[in-house]
Amino acid sequence: MTTAEPTDRADAPAKRGAEGDSSRSPLLEPRKRIEGAVLNVFSHGFLVLWTVLAAGPLVWALMNALKDSGDILANPWALPGSIDWANWSNAWSRARIGRYAANSLVIVAVSVPLTMLFGSMAAYVLARFDFKGARIVYFTFVGGMAFPVVMALVPLFFVMKNLSLLDTRHGLIMVYIAYSMPFTIFFMTTFFRTLPSSVSEAAEIDGASHTRIFFQVMLPMAKPGLISVGIFNFLGHWNQYVLPFALNHNEDDYVLTQGIGLLFAQAGYRSDYGRLFAGLVMAALPILVVYIIFQRQVQAGLTAGAVK
């Protein structure tokens, strides 16, 4: 047995397939080819159409961010004639997109790591320990995934007010963490259950405490899961609109999504459209870059819950 043999075998089916494409099942071929051609034109057309629809508005925003307001009003479809970077500095400083982005960043930098820590602590306990009420606690957490946040906004506002957490950063962070628990725990519980128990048993025999086993053995082993759900939570917190809208009213502390809402509301009477589009692009681009870099993990995190 040499290493050449398996490679040969792996090559064989591919070769056979390439040659045999037309000779294989000759009875089926003609009909399939006609049907295939019609369907291909139709469905490829549709796929391309949706690509244009999905990316088009973003490209349009980018185009307009480079035009001055007069050009935008003259013809919204036209390509930018000369590039006008003033919009960008205007959006950054006068529309305060820079400030709002910084606010978002500060909040997310704290809320996401803490969500991951608390979420995986709870998930670990629920996945690996048998105790009274474990199932009830688990379903209380996971049931929150079906919970419409909007319905409880009014009482939530007053809970925050009574705890003096309204319009504060740490208050918003706590709420973000709380509302991320259901999915994080759901995801991480499933993940911890799939990890082999032999390693943690070995650590236990060596005399490691439960806490130590969690932080030094289980958490490092759960890294792929943590990355998926961490990126998911990052996108969720960065893009959150409803919670800051209800709980964060100080205009200096607005997060980016609120800033975009404000920018849009002002569009009516200030009509400095170039600045608005520049603001939009500045809000959209970084997150698109993050997504493109991590798209595999993002997609894994998003689909893990619903596909068994």
Binding of residue 45 to other proteins (CB under 8 A): no
How many beta carbons lie within 10 A of that of residue 24, not counting itself?
Answer: 11
105 near other proteins, judged by CB under 8 A = no
Q: Concatenated DSSP letters for 7-23?
A: HHHHHHHHHHHHHHTTT
Cα(first)–Cα(last) distance of the chain, in Å? Answer: 39
Q: Which is nearer to other proteins, 3 or 169 (CB)?
A: 169
Q: Which of residues 232-261 bind other proteins (CB under 8 A)?
A: 235, 238-242, 245-246, 256-258, 260-261
| CA separation for the pair 65, 278 (Å, rounded) | 4
> Of the ranges 80-88, 89-97, 137-145, 216-224, which one interacts with other proteins (CB under 8 A)?
137-145
Q: Does 267 bind other proteins (CB under 8 A)?
A: yes
Nearer to other proteins, 36 or 113 (CB): 36
| DSSP collapsed to 3 states, 179-228 | HHHHHHHHHHHHHHHHCCCHHHHHHHHCCCCHHHHHHHHHHHHCHHHHHH
Distance (Å, whole) CA 283 – CA 277: 10
Please tell me the distance from the alpha carbon of residue 235 to that of residue 263, in angstroms, as a whole number.
21
Q: Residue type for 244, please?
A: P
- Nearest 5°: phi and psi at 19? -75, -40
Site string for other proteins, 186-225 (x = CB under 8 A): ------------------------xx--x-----------
Least Å distance between CB 12 and other proteins?
10
- Cβ proximity to other proteins: between 202 and 265 the closer is 265
CB-based contact 87:245 (threshold 8 Å)? no
Quick check: 168 binds other proteins (CB under 8 A)?
no
Q: How far is the CB of 196 from other proteins (least distance, A)?
A: 20
Q: How far is the CB of 281 from other proteins (least distance, A)?
A: 9
Torsion sign across C-alpha atoms 226, 228, 231, 234: negative
Considering only 105, 106, 142, 178, the residue that binds other proteins (CB under 8 A) is 178
Q: Residues binding other proteins: what is the number (CB under 8 A)?
A: 109
Select the residue interacting with other proteins from 54, 82, 198, 269 (CB under 8 A).
54
Query: Would you say how long the chain is, in residues?
Result: 308
Region near other proteins per CB under 8 A, out of 79-87, 117-125, 193-201, 220-228: 117-125
Residues 3-32, interacting with other proteins (CB under 8 A): 13-14, 16-18, 20-21, 24-25, 28, 31-32
Is 85 a binding residue for other proteins by CB under 8 A? The answer is no
Interface with other proteins includes 148 (CB under 8 A)?
A: yes
**Nearest to 280, CA basis, from 84, 94, 108, 65:** 65
**Binding segment (CB under 8 A) for other proteins, from list 42-50, 81-89, 190-198, 218-226:** 42-50
| CA atoms of 117 and 106, how far apart (whole Å) | 17
Query: Which range touches other proteins (CB under 8 A), out of 3-11, 83-91, 177-185, 218-226?
Result: 177-185
Q: Which residue has the tokens 């200030």?
A: 270
